[in-house]
Chains A and B, each alone.
Chain A
Amino acid sequence: MAAPRHSAMLSISNAATPQSTSSDRTQAPQQPQSPAPTQGLRVPSNRKTIYDRHLNRSRNAESSRASFAYLFAEMVTYAQRRVTGIQDLEKRLNEQGYPLGLRLLDLLFYRATSTSSSALSSSSTSSSPPNRPLRILTLLHLIHGPLWRLLFQRSADALEHSVSPDTPNEYMITDNDPLVNTYISVPREMSMLNCAAFVAGIIEGVCDGCGFEAKVSTHNQPTEMWPSRTVFLVKFGDSVMEREKVLERAGIK
């Protein structure tokens, strides 16, 4: 399911800039030392590889908003090269977010498992590891709550289900003021563009990683109070909906 996406990602992960940007937010200190190469392994002088460091060390670390804004701006600029239009640009941003989503998923669960006060669900007080989301709603709650908190330190603002009977597979997550758009002003001729497509990519990665094939798009829905209010439209694939029915019948939550 995820395979084609990965091949598309190759160039980007080689470039490494966007990745470390986003990772900086979550685990900034570890990245620079990553020893992935197979031969001529470079072990840091203190003999500690990333495998020896604790993943939760950077849990409460924060990165500077200014440096994030700068990196994100660079990402948008980078993505804007050789694009044919707004859609293409959004697609590229989306693709940059996708692998981040996959990673965040693992990190999110790891942190929830290893710390007794569960970061995933506020209600759960037990130390038992959280469950993988099996149903659409649990997945969306995961995105709406814990994922958003991990990324932006607050929950998303709304989670809605499409009321139209024709599109039962559409869900909407609303962010009144997306962090990524804070320092971006879109030129008039590109008014359709929403750079939160990057976040949409993250959401897509999370959905896909959990086995929920989905397409996520961003839509500007400004209000007077929230001029950069953004709606993330999550469209689940048919296979997901079919499975949903089966699980519903089986009574699985």
Chain B
Amino acid sequence: MTSPGDAAPVKPPPSFSPGVARGTSKSRYPDEAESTHSIDAELAEARSVSSPTPPLSATTAELPIRSSSPHARSVRSSTPQLARSSLGSPFDGRFDGSEDIRSLIIRAFSPTVAIYASDDTDELVRNKGFKGGFWELVRPFGDTVSGKVVIRDSVGSSRAWEDYGVRFVDLNGFGRTPAGRESGQESSLTQMEEILEQQLESAEGPFGGSIPPKDALGVPVASPLWKLLLRQILSATSAAPHETFGHPVASVIAISSRNMAPLETLRQLYGESSSGDKRLPDWVNSEYLRYYVLVHDEERDDITESTKLYDQMKRHFGLHCHLLRLRSSQCIVTDDDSVQVPSCEWLSPQERLSGVGEAGKYSAFIRQLETNNIAETLVDLGTDGTPYLFDSDVTAIRTFIRELMVQSVIPFMENRVAVWNDQIASRRRGISGRFMSVGRRFMTFGSGSRSGATGSSGGSGNYDPTNNFYGPDSPEAILRKMADFAFMLRDWKLAASTYEMIQSDFKNDKAWKYHAGAHEMCAVSMLLNPLAMSAKIKLESVDQMFENACYSYLTRCSDVPHALRALSLGVELLKSRGGSATESAARWAMRVMDFGLVGPIGQILFTERVSACYASKISMGGAKWGGRRRKAGMWSIFAANQWLKAGNPTLAAACLEEGERLYGDVLETDGVFPIPEMQTFVDNLRHSVKVEYLGARGFDTRDEPASEDPVLTDETSEKLEKIDKRNHRRSLIGLPGQLDVGNFNMTSGTRDPENSPNDDFERA
């Protein structure tokens, strides 16, 4: 596997190391020195982002070392830098679409910031059309922090991320949901299924569901439906004691300029959030950052007053303050500088379901899925109640979030990780890494809440078995929090080693959910860490960890959403690893189906995913073996069969086509299977897919020809352009007129052109 990181060992010879190289080039090519430098800088810049063009450093490694071109030299000289800055993304571009999913997964574990706004602030925002108040206003903008976010890891090297995000939660609602968790779990799964159903129904019609998009080579990337499911799986789990991802890293306390007694209100809000009835549950560490925001009403209040107040705030509360200037009137679509509020990416299944009717977030989401179809978006605009904001407001909010994250939250987290690592983790590593039980018995940890006497039962005594959680100050809980922080800061190496360290503690304490969580995240962070795990042994240990996590979650704790999350993460990350890991990925996907963790539609999506996993295993080198084309094809065909049974011939057609493409390589003649029963099955499937597809289309065209036609021609013309590039493509989705025998690449007589659905269509 060639990753940019791997390319690092090919070091430039001493004479070309950065300093020297530049010196010589200056003296020899004085006029080119400038340009060299700028190219250098540009390159470094380009690479330091998530770098979608992989082979750059790889190609530099292959460049002839004695190249006399100044350009080449400059590339070489910057290699070490590149190697380091691109550590995080070794797979970019290698597997199409997997980078996308990877980013999705990473962003799913963003730091959480709780929002606690005063009543006057919420009222101000409600006037702008956001019923949920300040939280609802800022929430969608947290999905991506604008610009790059630079994070330093535990060894001091920094890396810039473009896709960093933050999850805003409402402090009012925090920790209340877990009360009814037992029922909530089951329902979140049914809700997930419901959403998928709605998505399918709403997309039925001209497009008949979301057809998996394909890249230029005709290799399908992850289907939108799958991404929707994955996103839900990742957001279905609410804050829980055993992991701190949902716990607030910071809390934003907001007041508005309308407030009469601003400082008092702030104090009061602070007090409520830390001790009053708005206090967080016991299992949440109360040591989190407080951030104070003054929302200034541009239209009704005086900015000088607000500035004065802001200065006062800064004096009282330190640097973690922000002045947010918003206009208080509601923006409507016809306003000059109106900007549509982006839809929120991380809605829990429940929110997504309830949001469908009123807020229009959902329909916005659907439109996002169908991005190809711009015309429809334009037509629909404004009819669904999507909120709008003034351009200036959007800019202000983005700036606020960026400042919040870059200047306060991330440094805070970096600092906590460093402190905990120093005080707790490194001591643990040093001694008890080797003598765990001894270490546990006699160490005294930094945070003095421990009561000294430890149980002799092998457990540390910090675990509260009746309520099933560790006190937030216990070293176990802090180590877990530190690992989670490191994970959210994308320092996967530190995270993995920390998770690994605490696994056995949880096991000794029989804290099974913690145990499961540590195994899950340890495996995930090992898979995310691009440099770890080159050996195959590691892959086995990762498998073992998922096995443990899955067993603890399911059998010991009956926690389906978490188990589902763990396994889905495993599937996706193993798949993106390529090679033999893809087979593990497929196996885990099958386990999900076997355990029945998802509903009927989810089952089909996982079936498709198994196919995708196998398809991504490609044959090695010049050899013809090593691929899993037959398996991939088989699962695709099964998926097609299931879609058909589920009454969705369009998706069935897409799967069938994909299956035939995959089988194309291994069959002697296209579409002809050597085994008769398989042939019969596939023939029948083709036939019924075609009949149902045309049947469904036939009705559509007769009922509402006008609404469909422009769209249809649009799509076909686009397809026709591409058709020469994809010779394997036998589209069922294309022009209905083409849907005759020829398009199916059929061989026997079951499908004569005269069959009735086709006739119907002609008449219509």
Decide if A and B are genuine partners: yes
Min C-beta distance of A86 to chain B, whole Å: 34
- The 3 lowest CB-CB distance pairs between A and B, nearest first, are A242-B622, A246-B623, A246-B621
B624 x A239 contact (CB < 8 A): yes
The answer to the question of A154 belonging to the interface, with a C-beta cut-off of 8 Å to chain B, is no
* B620 contacts the other chain (CB 8 A): yes
Q: Give 1 or 0 for each of B620-631: 1 = CB within 8 Å of chain A CB.
A: 111110000000
Residues of chain A with a CB closer than 8 A to B623's CB: 242-243, 246
A132 proximal to B (CB < 8 A)? no
**In the complex, A239 Cα to B622 Cα: how many Å?**
8
Contacts of B621 in A (CB 8 A): 242, 245-246, 249
Residues of A within 8 A of B (CB): 239, 242-243, 245-246, 249
Cβ contacts under 8 Å, A242 to chain B: 621-623
Interface of A is mostly: helix
Give A111 Cβ to nearest chain B Cβ, in Å: 29
Residues of B within 8 A of A246 (CB): 620-623
Give the complex CA separation of A31 and B592 in angstroms: 56
CB of B565, distance to nearest CB on chain A (Å) = 37
- Give every chain B residue within 8 A of A243 (Cβ-Cβ): 622-624
Chain A residues with Cβ below 8 Å from B622 are: 242-243, 245-246
**Contact residues of B with A, CB < 8 Å?**
620-624
**Bound CA–CA A245/B624 (angstroms):** 12
Question: Which residues does chain B contribute within 8 Å of A239, judged by CB atoms?
Answer: 624
Q: CA A211 – CA B536 in complex, angstroms?
A: 29
B624 contacts which chain A residues (CB < 8 A)? 239, 243
In whole Å, how far is A250's beta carbon from the nearest beta carbon of chain B?
9
**Distance (Å) between the CB of B579 and the closest chain A CB?**
14
**Looking across the interface, which residue of chain B has its beta carbon closest to that of A245?**
B622
Closest residue on chain A to residue B619 by CB atoms: A246
Interface centre among A239, A242, A245, A246 (most CB of B within 10 A): A246
Output the nearest chain B residue to A244 by Cβ-Cβ distance. Answer: B622
Given contacts A239-B624, A242-B622, 10 further A-B contacts (CB under 8 A): A242-B621, A242-B623, A243-B622, A243-B623, A243-B624, A245-B621, A245-B622, A246-B621, A246-B622, A246-B623
Count contacts between A and B, CB distance < 8 Å.
14
**Nearest-neighbor residue (CB-CB) of B624 within chain A:** A239
Question: How far, in angstroms, from A239 to B624 measured CA to CA in the complex?
Answer: 8
Assembled-state Cα–Cα distance A245/B623 (Å): 9
CA distance A81 to B758 in the complex (A): 56
Q: How far is A246 from B619 in the complex, measured between Cα atoms in Å?
A: 11
Q: Which residues of A contact B620 (CB under 8 A)?
A: 246
Q: How far is the CB of B627 from chain A (nearest CB, A)?
A: 13
In the complex, A243→B625 CA distance in Å?
A: 9
Nearest-Cβ distance from residue A248 to partner chain B, whole angstroms: 11
Q: How far is the CA of A249 from the CA of B623 in the complex (A)?
A: 12
Residue of B nearest to A242 (CB): B622
Closest to B623 in A: A246
CA distance A249 to B626 in the complex (A): 15
Complex: chain A residue closest to B620, CB-CB: A246
Give the distance in Å from the alpha carbon of A239 to the alpha carbon of B621 in the complex. 12
CB-CB < 8 A to A245: which residues of B?
621-622
How many whole Å from B667's CB to the nearest CB in chain A? 13
Q: How far is the CA of A246 from the CA of B626 in the complex (A)?
A: 12
Cα A239 to Cα B625 in complex, Å, equals: 12
Identify the closest chain A residue to B622 (Cβ): A242
In angstroms, how far is the closest chain B Cβ from the Cβ of A160? 25
Assembled-state Cα–Cα distance A243/B624 (Å): 8
- A–B complex contacts, Cβ < 8 Å, 13 sampled: A242-B621, A242-B622, A242-B623, A243-B622, A243-B623, A243-B624, A245-B621, A245-B622, A246-B620, A246-B621, A246-B622, A246-B623, A249-B621
Q: How far is the CB of B135 from chain A (nearest CB, A)?
A: 58
Bound: A245/B622 CA distance, A: 8
Q: How far is the CB of B421 from chain A (nearest CB, A)?
A: 42
Shortest distance in angstroms between B2's beta carbon and chain A's nearest beta carbon? 16
Chain B nearest CB from A141 CB (Å) reads 23
Docked CA distance A239–B620 (Å): 13
- For residue A41, give the distance in angstroms from its CB to the closest CB of chain B: 25
Least distance between A223 CB and chain B CB atoms (Å): 39
Taking the closest CB of chain A, its distance from the CB of B620, in whole angstroms, is 7
Q: How distant is A252 from chain B, measured CB to nearest CB, in Å?
A: 11
Q: How many Å from the CB of B623 to the closest CB on chain A? A: 4
Min CB distance A240 to B, Å, is 10
Question: What is the CA–CA distance of A9 and B322 in the complex, to the nearest angstrom?
Answer: 87
CA distance A242 to B623 in the complex (A): 7
- Docked complex Cα distance between A214 and B421 (Å): 64
Shortest B619–chain A CB gap in Å is 10
A249 contacts across to B, CB distance below 8 A: 621
In the complex, what's the smallest C-beta–C-beta distance from A88 to chain B, in angstroms?
Answer: 28
Closest Cβ of chain A: how far from B487's Cβ, in Å? 37
Q: CA separation between A242 and B359, bound complex, in Å?
A: 60
Q: A243 to B620: give the CA distance in the assembly, Å.
A: 10
Tell me, rounded to whole Å, the shortest Cβ–Cβ distance linking A47 to chain B: 34
**A249 to B622 alpha-carbon distance, docked (Å):** 11
Alpha-carbon distance A189/B487, docked complex (angstroms): 84
How far is A199 from B623 in the complex, measured between Cα atoms in Å?
A: 30
Cα separation A242 to B622 with both chains bound (whole Å): 5
Complex CA distance for A103 and B745, rounded to whole angstroms: 37
The distance from the CB of A251 to the nearest CB of chain B, in whole angstroms, is: 14
The distance in angstroms between the C-alpha atoms of A81 and B620, with both chains bound, is: 48
Residue of B nearest to A247 (CB): B623
Chain A proximity of B22: nearest CB distance (Å)? 40
**In the complex, A50→B89 CA distance in Å?**
64
User: Within the complex, what minimum Cβ distance (angstroms) separates B626 from chain A?
Assistant: 9
Give the complex CA separation of A217 and B207 in angstroms.
60
Q: How far is the CA of A124 from the CA of B514 in the complex (A)?
A: 56
Closest residue of chain B to A239, judged by CB? B624
> Once bound together, how far apart are the Cα atoms of A110 and B622, in whole Å?
32
- Determine how close the nearest CB of chain B comes to the CB of A132; give it in whole angstroms: 15
Q: How far is the CB of B472 from chain A (nearest CB, A)?
A: 52
Q: A26–B193 Cα gap in the complex (Å)? A: 67
Question: Which residue of A has the minimal Cβ distance to B668?
Answer: A3
Query: Smallest distance from the beta carbon of A213 to chain B beta carbons, Å?
Result: 11
Tell me, in angstroms, the Cα distance from A242 to B625 when the chains sit together.
12
- Nearest-neighbour CB distance to chain A for B68, whole angstroms, equals 32
Q: Measured between C-beta atoms, what is the minimum distance from B625 to chain A in Å?
A: 9
Complex CA–CA separation, A245 to B620 (angstroms): 12
Q: Which residue of B lies closest to A3 (CB)?
A: B668
* Separation of A243 and B619 alpha carbons in the complex (Å): 12
- How far does the Cβ of A135 sit from chain B's closest Cβ, in whole Å? 13
- Min Cβ gap B665→A in Å is 14
What is the CB-to-nearest-CB distance from A11 to chain B, in angstroms, rounded to a whole number?
A: 23
| Chain A proximity of B1: nearest CB distance (Å) | 15
Measured in the bound complex, the distance between the Cα atoms of B623 and A246 in whole Å is 7
CB distance from A152 to the nearest CB of B (A): 35
A97 to chain B, nearest CB (A): 25
Rounded to whole Å, the gap between the CB of B430 and the closest CB of chain A is 41
Q: Bound state CA distance, A239 and B623, in angstroms?
A: 8
| A246–B622 CA distance with the chains assembled, in angstroms | 7
In the complex, what's the smallest C-beta–C-beta distance from A182 to chain B, in angstroms?
Answer: 42
Identity of the chain A residue whose Cβ is nearest the Cβ of B621 in the assembled complex: A246
- CB of B598 to closest CB in A, whole Å: 39
How distant is the Cα of A242 from the Cα of B620 in the complex, in angstroms?
11
User: How far is A36 from B655 in the complex, measured between Cα atoms in Å?
Assistant: 44
CB distance from B170 to the nearest CB of A (A): 57
